Structure 1
Amino acid sequence: MSDFPTRRTMMVDTQVRPSDVTKFPIIDAMLTIKREDFVPTVQRETAYMGENLEIGAGRVILEPRTLAKMLDALDIAPDELVLDVGAGLGYSAAVIAHMAQAVVALEEDEAMSNEAQDALSAAGIDNVITHVEALKDGAAEHGPYDAIVIEGGVTHVPDTLIAQLKDGGRIAALFMDGALGEVRIGYKRDGAVSWRRAFNAGAPVLPGFEKQDAFTL
């Protein structure tokens, strides 16, 4: 039987801490949440590898370093409501739930969302709502949100999502340009978002977040 607790500690010690992630709630969540329970069964042995984990349909679970650094930059507070866009099988929502008041785990694949709900329930995590809807449309009925995390690559962020972010809120997105990408944190002030570069990373672009066709003159 695999020694998952040791692997979990190694993940934090070799992938998360060396990436300048020092906030206790993030470290604690990643040491506590059993990542192997939130991946496809055939992937359990690779759950703690330092790379994006494919979960089918061109989708991935972000590598631990990327997720940890995103959450570190967002600086989520214990009284905040967070929208987790592209929650997949629920790992990111489980981690965020450790530091936020509540999380809405948005997934457009109903089967994935059902698996996420089962895994979250089995882990005893009761402050996550799973919501099935197109990722680009968000989950307006539960918002507005203090913070939004997009669990995959984007080339643009739809206005529908920006509209669901509270004024004064933050959004983390991984902007891809070909094979290269960088995570930026957006800060909403007076209805508009200003973006600041945080760090380099990479992931497949999520459905609905591809480049919009540029119009020609």
Structure 2
Amino acid sequence: MATSMVRALAALLLLATAGTHSAAASDFASERRRMMEQIELLARQTSVETGRPAFDARVMTVMSTVPRHEFVPPDQVDVAYANRPVPIGHGQTISQPYIVALMTDLAKAEPGHKVLEVGTGSAYQAAVMARLARAVYTIEIIEPLGLQATQRLQKLGYGNVQVRTGDGYHGWEEHAPYDAILVTAAASHVPPPLIRQLKPGGRMVIPVGAAFMVQQLMLIEKNADGTVSTRQILPVAFVPLTGRR
């Protein structure tokens, strides 16, 4: 086949592919906008409980740009941007967008901060935090999910996130202390190792309560003298934190 013909066919193929990607991006952009509208609405509706009628602009920008559809199984892509949890296998879920935005907002991560996440799941929350903080360390107890998360983050270019397979109850001492800690599974109590690994002035956001029941999303703040203050934010429903106590 003549070189000119090969080039022409290649150009047509590129145009067709670009058109497909463009259409898909447009579809997701529309779904993303609807997701952001839902987050804004719920932030206003829960402002009495959270004290936050609107989330930080940096958080909202990140929520509008991280490709949530990349963090769900292929058969769940159609509902990736729906404001509800989405199953990701192994009895786990990716949290609803509003809850991800709320927890991220409460953590108050800054560009120089180091963040610990307990419960990697699909790595969506870690990806959101990675756009706001200097480094994110995330722990997943279910090995297949941890491996998938590592591969997904590498593929999408999140080089400031490290994933470890293990029991997150005990935190990740090697990189402590942390400016913020997010726990994305419900614990019966606040794990003492995580309190110890939280930097003075740091914040932890964690759902606390019985497994498969309504829990309370808690904000834990560590004072300069090492004491902690706690505040209930909202009733929530998370999968349970597993592992040895």
Task: Name the TM-score, length of structure 1 as normaliser.
Answer: 0.88
Larger strand fraction of residues: 1
- Name the CA distance, whole Å, in 1 between partners of 2:54 and 2:77: 25
Aligned to 1:66: 99
Residues 60 and 152, structure 1, Cα contact 8 Å, conserved in 2: no
RMSD, matched Cα: 1.9
Counterpart of 2:215, as a letter, is: G
- Name the CA distance, whole Å, in 1 between partners of 2:29 and 2:122: 20
Shift of 1:191: 3.2
Alignment of 1:186 with 2:210, yes or no, is no
Aligned to 1:112: 145
Shift of 1:26: 1.1
SS at match of 1:147: strand
Alignment of 1:11 with 2:46, yes or no, is no
Task: Name the TM-score, length of structure 2 as normaliser.
Answer: 0.79
Residues 155 and 176, structure 1, Cα contact 8 Å, conserved in 2: yes
SS at match of 1:205: coil
Residues 74 and 147, structure 1, Cα contact 8 Å, conserved in 2: yes
Report sequence identity in percent: 33
Residues 141 and 243, structure 2, Cα contact 8 Å, conserved in 1: no
SS at match of 1:66: helix
Deviations along 1:156-203, one digit per CA (max 9) or x if unpaired, are 122122121112211001123563222110011333322111223221
Deviations along 1:135-168, one digit per CA (max 9) or x if unpaired, are 2121111221111000122221221221211122
Query: Which runs of structure 2 are paired with 1:148-187 in the superposition (5 Å)?
Result: 148-177=181-210, 179-187=213-221
Residues 21 and 72, structure 1, Cα contact 8 Å, conserved in 2: no
Q: Call closer, same or farther: CA 1:55–1:16 in 2, change over 3 Å.
A: farther
- Name the CA distance, whole Å, in 2 between partners of 1:113 and 1:16: 31
Counterpart of 1:186, as a letter, is: I
Shift of 1:84: 1.0
Query: Which runs of structure 2 are paired with 1:91-170 in the superposition (5 Å)?
Result: 91-170=124-203
Counterpart of 2:29, as a letter, is: P
Aligned to 1:54: 87
Deviations along 1:85-139, one digit per CA (max 9) or x if unpaired, are 1011110000011111110121122221221122212222211111121121211
- Name the CA distance, whole Å, in 2 between partners of 1:149 and 1:99: 14
SS at match of 1:120: helix
Provide the aligned length of Structure 1 versus Structure 2.
210
Shift of 1:47: 1.0
SS at match of 2:180: strand
Q: Call closer, same or farther: CA 1:129–1:16 in 2, change over 3 Å.
A: farther
SS at match of 2:209: strand
- Name the CA distance, whole Å, in 1 between partners of 2:186 and 2:85: 12
Counterpart of 2:124, as a letter, is: Y
Alignment of 1:202 with 2:237, yes or no, is yes
Shift of 1:16: 4.1
Unaligned runs of 5+ in 1: 213-217
- Name the CA distance, whole Å, in 1 between partners of 2:193 and 2:42: 36
Residues 119 and 139, structure 2, Cα contact 8 Å, conserved in 1: yes
Larger helix fraction of residues: 2
Q: Call closer, same or farther: CA 1:16–1:181 in 2, change over 3 Å.
A: farther
Shift of 1:80: 0.6
- Name the CA distance, whole Å, in 2 between partners of 1:16 and 1:88: 25
Counterpart of 1:203, as a letter, is: F
SS at match of 1:155: coil
